[in-house]
Chains A and B, each alone.
Chain A
Amino acid sequence: TRLAEGTPRRSIQLSSIVEKRVFNEDDIINTPKRTKARKSISIKSADHDGDDDYVPELSTPKKTPQKTPSKGKRSTTKSSTSDVSGTPKTPSQKLKMIRSGEIKPSLEKRGILAGSEKGKTDLQIARERLHVSVVPQSLPCREKEFDNIYTFLEGKIQDQCGGCMYVSGVPGTGKTATVTGVIRTLQEKVTDDELPPFDFLEINGMRLTEPRQAYVHIYRQLTGKTVSWEHAHSLLEKRFTTPAPRRVTTVLLVDELDILCNRRQDVVYNLLDWPTKAAARLVVITIANTMDLPERLLMGKVTSRLGLTRLTFQPYTHKQLQEIVTGRLNGSTAFKGDAVQLVARKVAAVSGDARRALDICRRATEIADAAASKPENSSKDSMQCVNMMHVQQALAEMIASAKVQAIKNCSRLEQIFLQAVAAEVTRTGVEETSFMGVYTQIETIAAFMGASTPTPGRALRICSKLGSERLLICEHSRNDIFQKILLNVSMDDIHYALKVNNTN
């Protein structure tokens, strides 16, 4: 469906949400809080008086040291010095400053300081280390891929030419983490003067409302200014096609490439066409999930520009997952070895997603915490450890399906209804049943069980309730007795849930 729709013409505008965030109710047009605002600038963020989420920026943006177009850079520095003294008064002024990048978005600060490292238990430290967002300095089990990307990028930067690379792999296999790790290493080398300097830009397809917004985001990372996509496109076109002295290499990371593909594929084409220009010195690294995306989705000319430099991230095996988790734990004794192995084996069998393994481990630490805090087993040595039982419980919570439980907790008539649907499916042999047939079965089953038969209206209500719980798939009840009903749980689940229930 994403392919079918064209990109609607829409110029960039900050949504009303942003405006609301920026201009709270107390910040009305004609009430300049000049003294207060000035103080907040001079002390800067020490006392944050709540009405700005945007903090004026005194220095030029760090992302673009000297490579920004000279015009843009000059205006940034000039306006930031002049405008800071006269703080923004009207929303439109403020919006203008946001668009020109003179003030940066900031978040409200917490009143209480964060807890220190000392008071934490072993389990808490382990939990923090196991958090998905804590990316380690060097990713374990991805050394080969790291080398691959590193040599590619280093070569491109040293040769001062452009190029493309396509990285693919299922979610949670460390694609983005590896690429950003490579970039970080390269940037360190630049500071050590072992490599010519380069610009690094990144866009993520999922963060764009539409593919053409990619131009806006790229241009904003270059200059800090927000302009309409048409303008951004022409400026970028000018930058990448006209040769300029002292142009440095630009590395552009495009995450979620498949979102950028629309029917015309003009954005993807442009992003991959600029590296072919001699003046551009652009290196594009594209990341997506599917391995055969260029052949499946992209047009011929786009695929040919994407080139054949490709890299596939395989899902982690259980040994690798075990290594990742033990690497994260970093010698802490919070986890038993076989507990980690159980997590690794269970996750590797399903998807090989490292994030999943880390989440399950974190859940296991929480369970262990709760178990340890209970008064009956508060012996000191068992307290600080996650054992197999905790992991089992976490796995059951995060992997096991809740359908049997849901059927068990249905009311009696709902259970009869489910039984009736199953019976109707066995009788007719077709998966899709109509309400009429199911109702006949309800009458039979209810008579058999000695329960009173619900009226069709009540049965329709039961049907819609089961449908909203997704135990069934049914239509709108406006075509009442002719609506089609599908069973969304397996028939064995129903039998299992109700059989076990009956014996109790």
Chain B
Amino acid sequence: MKTVDYLERKYPCRGDFIHSLYNLISTPDEDFPPSIYINGHTGTGKTSIVKNFLKICKQKNKKYHAVHVNCVECYTTKILFDHILEEFVRTEVRCETFKDFVETLRQFDVGSGNGYVVALDNADRLRDMESNVLPSLLRLQEFTGLNICVLLISQIPLEKYHCKTGLTEIITLYCPQYTKLETLKILSYNYEETIKLLKLRIKDLDGGSDLEKKYVIVDQITQDFFNNYLNVFLSVFYKACRDVPELKITASKYFVTYMEPVLSGSVEMNDVAKLWRKIVTPLRSALSQVYMRFDKTQDDVISDRTDGHVENHSIRKMVQAFELPFYGKYLLIAAFLASHNSAKEDKRLFVKHHGKQRKRMQTVNAKAKVVEKMSTSLGPKSFSLDRLLAIFYAILDEKVGLTCNLLSQISTLVHLKLLGFVSGENNIMDGSARLQCTVGLEFILYIGKIVGFNVYQYLCDFS
């Protein structure tokens, strides 16, 4: 039971899972089940536990052979088979087909009592390989006559695997997501590492000045204090994200921010309420950046705290990053207008003397739109190149010639993925190609602000 104890200490709150793994495939003296399917969300420790479990089993018993293969790496079945055989056979073998694979395994097995485990990560890729691979891997024990078990690890349920010819029976193990208490427990194991990280950050930030004093404060941090912080942290984050690795990274990152007032001496260490008030704003702003993983500089963190609008900030940065030419900007605005206005409204919006419009009850009703029906939330419609150029000339006050510079800017915009082809990619010149604007309203509004153009005025949803 030493294996289980060790693993349970390493992976808290996964006792059931480790126990069932242990019962099924711990020793080669017993017969393995032909196949096991393990599924669960990301960050629930499937791959890591299985890898460690197999490693320990291999160390404990010489007759235990195991291999871990990631199916994403295997874009052909030959690579998959080679991976597996490399581990088991350890000599150069030529293996082209499944038949060769089975034959090699069968011939290789010398002596009795050997146990083999093949763990296949990202097993959903197996469905895209040749149609015989998945059904026959599940019956590998039957084919080879060896004590072999195929572990499939994936995120989707087994129901998504059944092919037209059916699958054999398979044992399913489920890795449920951690509850809030369990997450807290796992994160609190991170205590020592976080303290170490904190010391490093202090050294980096202000080298020399009252370093000693700060170290003393850091040494006073107890597990309880850290758990308290984690409680605060999870109260903000747990609703949005339950991915433990992600939480781990973010928690240790923001612990530095949490400790700042204490280190500077403005707040006492046991004044929890005050600390909570100080940390809650940065945490809320950090919530919008979870999963994004950009390493921010300190300036960015400060500027984030001042304006608080992270989205606006990122879009502004994106627009600045593109640095489009003047006509390019107008072309993009024209493309946006073409995508989000219906062609019927073009005459009213862009032609100077379009005659009088009669007001009817129908149009008034149509104007009273709900947010869901606005084209900005329905998504862009497609438009032709002619319409794009017509709108471009209508919204541009000066008259420019239709030069090849202008046309090449359209293709540049397509290249930058700001515009996209919907159809007719091959016949752009004959006018049957349809384009689509792929940027959002905020982006266009910002570009409009730069060139001094009011976009709202020309959007029929808003006018």
Binding site for B on A (CB under 8 A): 456-457, 460-461, 463-465, 467-469, 474-478, 480
Contacts and interface: CB of A to CB of B under 8 A. Distances in A.
Contacts, number: 38
Nearest to A467: B164
Given A461-B159, A478-B160, A480-B159, A468 B127 contact: no
Contacts of B165: 468
A457 B159 contact: yes
Given A457-B157, A457-B159, A461-B159, A476 B127 contact: yes
Nearest to A477: B162
A476 B159 contact: no
A465 B168 CA distance: 10
Contacts of A460: 159, 162
Contact of B162 (A456, A469, A476): A476
Contacts of B166: 464-465, 467-469
Nearest to B166: A468
A477 B127 CA distance: 11
A60 to B, nearest CB: 39
Interface string B98-137: 0000000000000000000000000000010000000000
A24 to B, nearest CB: 15
Nearest to A457: B159
Nearest to A469: B166
Contacts of A465: 166
Contacts of A463: 162
B164 A468 contact: yes
Contact of A461 (B127, B162, B163): B162
Contacts of B157: 457
B339 to A, nearest CB: 29
B97 to A, nearest CB: 12
A169 to B, nearest CB: 35
Contacts of B160: 477-478, 480
B154 to A, nearest CB: 12
B217 to A, nearest CB: 54
Nearest to A458: B159
B99 to A, nearest CB: 11
A486 to B, nearest CB: 12
B167 A464 contact: yes
Nearest to A466: B166
Interface string B162-176: 111111000000000
29 contacts: A456-B159, A457-B157, A457-B158, A457-B159, A460-B159, A460-B162, A461-B159, A461-B162, A463-B162, A464-B162, A464-B163, A464-B166, A464-B167, A467-B164, A467-B166, A468-B164, A468-B165, A468-B166, A474-B164, A475-B164, A476-B127, A476-B162, A476-B163, A476-B164, A477-B159, A477-B161, A477-B163, A478-B161, A480-B159
Contacts of B162: 460-461, 463-464, 467, 476-477
Interface in B138-183: 157-167
Given A461-B162, A464-B166, 10 more contacts: A464-B167, A465-B166, A467-B164, A467-B166, A468-B164, A468-B165, A476-B162, A476-B163, A477-B159, A478-B161
Nearest to B131: A476
B35 to A, nearest CB: 15
A468 B161 CA distance: 13
A446 B96 CA distance: 49
A464 B164 CA distance: 6
A321 to B, nearest CB: 38
Contacts of A478: 127, 160-161
A414 to B, nearest CB: 13
Contacts of A475: 164
Nearest to A475: B164
A468 B165 CA distance: 4
Contacts of B161: 477-478
A459 to B, nearest CB: 9
A121 to B, nearest CB: 41
A478 to B, nearest CB: 5
Contacts of A480: 159-160
A456 B159 CA distance: 9
Interface in B220-248: none
A17 to B, nearest CB: 12
Nearest to B135: A468
A476 B164 CA distance: 6
Contacts of B163: 464, 476-477
A457 B158 CA distance: 8
A315 to B, nearest CB: 35
